A = this chain, B = another copy of it.
Amino acid sequence: MLSKKTKYAFHALTYLGKHRDKKTVLIHDISEEYGISHKFLENILLELKKAGILGSKKGKGGGYYLIKDPKDVALSKVIRLLDGPIALLPCVSLNYYEPCVECKSEALCGLNKVMIQVRDEMLNVLENKSLADILDKE
């Protein structure tokens, strides 16, 4: 399951996407709209900024804004950023690979093979769907 952090990130991105006409949007406005703790959301927006998805402006009249075209923000990117691996096992993660501690041999592991398939099916959707696809529906 996606963490709240990731869900909040999607909410925030959706909100920012809907308000692209405005130069900036306040954290406060987003946190009110979705009932998210202001400070918690702050951290999330910062991460999105560091990842190059959002820009920000300090001071009065400041706030956050989308720096990328919604169609260039793959859902997989957001999930990996806030939640970490998409794969169901560390040994099949593309971005967060780790060997399974209790596993003797990946080559002989039947689960490994299947989970690679699952990962690829998931990524097939999550890499190709973007923020733009989410905005469309709303």
Binding site for B on A (CB under 8 A): 1-2, 7, 10-11, 14, 34-36, 75, 84-85, 87-90, 100, 102, 108-111, 113-114, 117-118, 121-122, 124-126, 129, 133-138
A92: min CB distance to chain B, Å: 10
Count identical subunits in the complex.
2
Asked if A110 and B89 make an inter-chain contact with CB atoms under 8 angstroms apart, the answer reads no
A40 to B126 CA separation, bound complex (whole angstroms): 35
A62: min CB distance to chain B, Å: 25
A117 to B36 CA separation, bound complex (whole angstroms): 27
A110 to B89 CA separation, bound complex (whole angstroms): 27
Q: CB-CB < 8 A to A122: which residues of B? A: 118, 121-122
Asked if B114 and A134 make an inter-chain contact with CB atoms under 8 angstroms apart, the answer reads yes
Asked if A102 and B34 make an inter-chain contact with CB atoms under 8 angstroms apart, the answer reads yes
Asked if B1 and A90 make an inter-chain contact with CB atoms under 8 angstroms apart, the answer reads yes
Asked if A110 and B125 make an inter-chain contact with CB atoms under 8 angstroms apart, the answer reads no
Q: CB-CB < 8 A to A108: which residues of B? A: 137-138
* A110-B14, A114-B125, A121-B124 given; A36·B102 CB < 8 A: yes
